Amino acid sequence: MIKVLIAAQTPPPYGGMPIMIQRLLNSDLAGVRMVHVRLAFSADANEIGRYSVAKIVRLFTVVANIVFRRIVDGTRVLYYVPAGPDRMPMIRDMFVLILTRWMFDKTIFHFHLAGISELYERLPAWQK
């Protein structure tokens, strides 16, 4: 049995990627046990793209939940869905991954949002 920790957003807010992740979580995959940690940075669609202190608190909660689920459930694979082509979500993803990715044997990145290649071209060398 492969245990996979899926760190991704699910509804709400509703959108293409969260809906597809929810479908993945609802599927029955032979030989795979999925453990979900919801990347719940925005409580609703109005918070998307806006800074708030609550989001910083949620960031530390997400990291703690990933560490907790890794230890308690014994997941060895991290399935991570990075954010889209904006700098702050990219930095947030880097923060989460630096603190947690080393704990897993393998990492799967599911790039679902367009524009990340354009963001890469605009970044300073140290962020690339």
Look at residue 16 in the predicted model and tell me its pLDDT.
75
Across 52-57, average pLDDT:
78
Split at pLDDT 50, 70, 90, the class of 123 is: confident
Neighbours of 18 (CB within 10 A): 19
> Is 5:75 a contact under the CB 8 Å cutoff?
yes
Q: Which domains does the chain have, with CATH numbers?
A: 2-122 (3.40.50)
* pLDDT tens digits, one per residue of 72-85: 999 999 999 888 77
Report whether pLDDT(37) > 80: yes
CA distance 120 to 49: 19
What is the share, in percent, of the chain residues with pLDDT greater than 70?
85
Provide the CA 36 distance to its chain's centre, in angstroms: 10
CA distance 79 to 124: 27
Strands (E) in 2-128, as ranges, are 2-8, 32-38, 77-80, 106-109
Neighbours of 83 (CB within 10 A): 19
